[in-house]
Structures are given as C-alpha cells and as structure tokens.
Amino acid sequence: MIKKHLFIIVFLVSLLFFVSSALAKMVSVVGDNVNLRSGPGTKYSVKWKYGSGFPLKVLEEKGGWLKVEDFEGDSGWLYEKLTSRNGHMIVKVHKNQNKKINIRSGPGTKYNIVGKAYYGVVFKTIKQQNGWAHIKHDSGLEGWIKRSLLWGF
C-alpha cells in the first residue's frame, strides 16, 4: 500500500514538473538596448543588450526582475517592466554560416519565396499554423517561416 502511494506521489510530481516546463513563460523585450544583468538589480553588471522584440524564456521571477534565457542559452536578469507577452520569434539556424532561410507567401514549401533571413533576425509573430509561423519584420516584410527554424512564441 505504501509503495502504491509513493508511486502515485512520484508520478504526480513528475507530471507537474513536465506540465510546468511545457508551459514555460515567454516574454519579448520592449525597447532598444535593454540591459541583461548578472543579477536582479541595477547594481549588477550588464552582460548583454537586447533589441526590441527579442524573445526570452522566463526561468525565475524576483522583486520585479525576471531571470531569463535566450535562444543561445545565455541567461541573466531583466527588469520585468521592459518586457511584454507579445509574441516574437528569432531565426535559430545557420549560426556562423552565410546561409539564409526562406520566407514564403504561405504556410508551405509550395508557396513563393517573398524574402530571406539570416540567423538572429527577430520577427513579430502573427500566428502559427501546421508547423509554420506567420511573421512580420520591422521593415514591413511579412510571410511564413517553417516553425522548426525559429525560437520563441
């Protein structure tokens, strides 16, 4: 009987961990040159600067600050009021290569190529459909990119 209850408890804790990981909170940077700091406060050193729309995964929250991680695995602290829940995605493939990914007129490879993008380019997310993301760049370019080539929400 004790083994059965222990198994159920372990199972439920594991399930809770899995669900919370799957529902990880994502945010996007609001404003340009937003500081990512080494700790939760302005007294901590600046590690990186992010531009508007940059997507980040929230790891922890503390006193108005968010511990976040970017698509390359770099982490640090960002003031929460400099973030939003508006979806953005970033090109995550072809790092250190001179290759571009295709931006298409519709959600599939049969659609025309309307543009191209390099690693690290950020797009606003309009919607997601069948493994594709409908995106828009600040330049006005709008189209569809295969979701597996992007990181964000």
- Tens-digit pLDDT profile for residues 60-89: 999 999 999 999 999 999 999 999 999 999
| pLDDT recorded at residue 91 | 98
| pLDDT recorded at residue 98 | 85
pTM of the model: 0.81
Percent helix, percent strand, percent coil in the chain, to nearest 5: 20, 45, 40
Rounded Cα distance between 15 and 44, Å, is 36
Averaged pLDDT for residues 37-56: 97
Q: Find how far residue 64's CA is from the centre of its chain.
A: 20
DSSP conformation letters of 56-123 = EEEEEEETTEEEEE-TTS-EEEEEGGGEE---EEEE-S-TTS---EEEESSSSTTSPEEEEE-TT-EE
Statement: residue 7 has pLDDT above 70: no
| pLDDT recorded at residue 19 | 39
In our burial notation (b when 16+ CB lie closer than 10 A, e otherwise), range 65-74 reads bbbbebbeee
CA distances to 19, 26, 45, 92, 131 from 34, rounded to whole Å, are 30, 16, 13, 21, 31
Domains of the chain: 25-86 (2.30.30.40), 89-152 (2.30.30.40)
| pLDDT recorded at residue 96 | 83
pLDDT in tens, 79-138: 999 999 999 999 999 888 889 999 999 999 999 999 999 999 999 999 999 999 999 999
- With beta carbons less than 8 A apart as the criterion, state whether 151 and 140 touch: no
- Bridge partners of residue 134, in order along the sequence: 127, 144
DSSP SS3 for 32: coil
Rounded Cα distance between 5 and 32, Å, is 52
| pLDDT recorded at residue 3 | 54
